[in-house]
């Protein structure tokens, strides 16, 4: 588990790479060319980012003729949800304690 | 260019509480009461006041950023660690809104980076202790 966390965090820590992933999440499957047009970096750089994303299981590629289409694998993000829900769980528990305290306090 | 609003993530917990804002405010701002539901602290409701919240696992460093009695309380919630992946710089904001039945209490914690290794400053063992303690407290009350 810690390994998959490390890989996901490291992969998404790069802002350019994260922007590519986010665009695939929002807009669906796209070619390297289409992604490059708006990434602000060169096509080889985009391809490299896509390779890292693919290794982390965050994107899948599909070959069609000379084009490669990439799509986001949102399910791969599941391990990341752990800590936000963990922190929310912390506060939920603290609020339970707060409510118990309020019951005991004078008006 | 990095946009801090997209660089960090936020945790929001909201709850309807059947008590008036004034009473909840006391629980949020008086150290002996804060200790009963959150952690040991030397908090004071003064702008710029630096304080700690202490647990068995260590603690977080805080500074008061906003105080609007019975309405808003905001402070930093920072955890120092040599490894930046474990360090946390966040801001906790409590917002109290009166409702017919009491208060709508909202807690927003902002500042988790996408590469954050831990939600909370402490070790995961600290979490287990928190929950164990909580269960003990709850068992005593019932």
Alpha-carbon distance A65 to nearest alpha carbon in chain B (angstroms)? 36
Query: What gap in Å lies between CA B82 and CA A99, rounded to an integer?
Result: 36
User: A interface toward B at CB cutoff 8 Å?
Assistant: 5, 9-10, 12-13, 15, 18, 80, 83-84, 86-88, 90-102, 105, 107
Distance between CA atoms of residues B105 and B22, nearest Å: 12
Query: What pLDDT was estimated at residue B125?
Result: 37
CB contacts, 8 Å: B84 with chain A:
none
* Phi, psi at B13, each rounded to 5°: -125, 125
User: What does the block give as tokens for A106?
Assistant: 């004078």
What percent of chain A shows pLDDT beyond 70? 85
> B29: helix, coil or strand?
helix
Strands ordered across the beta sheet of B72-79: B9-17, B102-112, B88-99, B72-79, B58-68, B50-55, B40-41
Q: Does A93 contact B85 at a Cβ distance shorter than 8 Å?
A: no
Cross-chain Cβ contact B105/A95 below 8 Å: yes
Q: Which of A38-52, A68-82, B51-65 has the highest mean pLDDT?
A: A38-52
Asked whether residue A69 carries a pLDDT value surpassing 90, the answer given is yes
pLDDT on residue B84: 65
* Burial group, residue A60, by CB count within 10 angstroms (0-12, 13-18, 19+): middle
Q: Looking at A22-26, A64-68, B89-93, which range is the least confident one?
A: A22-26
| Confidence (pLDDT) at B137 | 39
Q: What is the pLDDT of residue B63?
A: 96
Mean pLDDT over residues A98-103, rounded? 94
- Tell me which chain B residues have a C-beta less than 8 angstroms from the C-beta of A18: 114
Low-confidence ranges of chain B (pLDDT < 50): 1-6, 120-142
- The confidence band for A60, taking pLDDT boundaries of 50, 70 and 90, is very high
B9 in contact with chain A, both atoms CB, cutoff 8 A: yes
Tell me the CA end-to-end span of chain B in Å, nearest whole number. Answer: 54
Which of A12, A86, A99 has the CB atom closest to B17's CB atom?
Answer: A99
Beta-carbon contacts of B81 under 8 Å, excluding residues fewer than 6 positions away, are: B87, B88, B121
Determine, for residues B109 and A93 on separate chains, whether the beta-carbon distance falls below 8 Å.
Answer: no
Nearest to B43 by CA among B17, B23, B65, B11: B65
For A87, which residue in chain B has the nearest alpha carbon?
B119
**Within 13 Å and on the Cβ side, how many CA atoms surround B77?**
24
Q: Indicate the SS3 state at residue A84.
A: helix
């Amino acid at each position: 588990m810690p390994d998959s966390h490390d890989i996901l965090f490291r992969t998404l820590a790069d802002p350019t790479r994260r922007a590519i992933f986010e665009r695939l999440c929002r807009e669906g499957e796209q070619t390297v060319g289409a992604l490059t047009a708006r990434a602000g970096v060169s096509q080889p750089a985009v391809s490299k980012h896509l390779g890292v994303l693919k290794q982390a299981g965050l994107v899948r590629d599909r070959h069609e003729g000379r084009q490669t289409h990439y799509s986001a694998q949102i399910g791969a993000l599941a391990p990341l949800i752990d800590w936000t829900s963990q922190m929310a769980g912390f506060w939920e528990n603290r609020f339970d304690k707060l409510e118990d305290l309020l019951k005991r306090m004078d008006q | 260019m990095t946009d801090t609003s997209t660089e960090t993530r936020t945790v929001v917990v909201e709850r309807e509480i059947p008590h008036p804002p004034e009473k909840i405010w006391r629980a949020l701002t008086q150290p002996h009461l804060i200790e009963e539901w959150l952690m040991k602290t030397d908090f004071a409701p003064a702008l710029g006041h630096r304080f700690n919240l202490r647990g068995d696992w260590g603690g977080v460093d805080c500074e008061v950023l906003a105080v609007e009695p019975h309405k808003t309380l905001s402070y930093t919630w920072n955890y120092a660690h040599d490894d930046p992946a474990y360090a946390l710089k966040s801001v906790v904001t409590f917002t109290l809104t009166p409702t017919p039945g009491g208060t709508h209490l909202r807690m927003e914690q902002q500042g988790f980076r996408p590469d954050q290794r831990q939600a909370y400053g402490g070790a995961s063992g600290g979490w287990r202790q928190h929950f164990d303690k909580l269960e003990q407290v709850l068992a005593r009350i019932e």
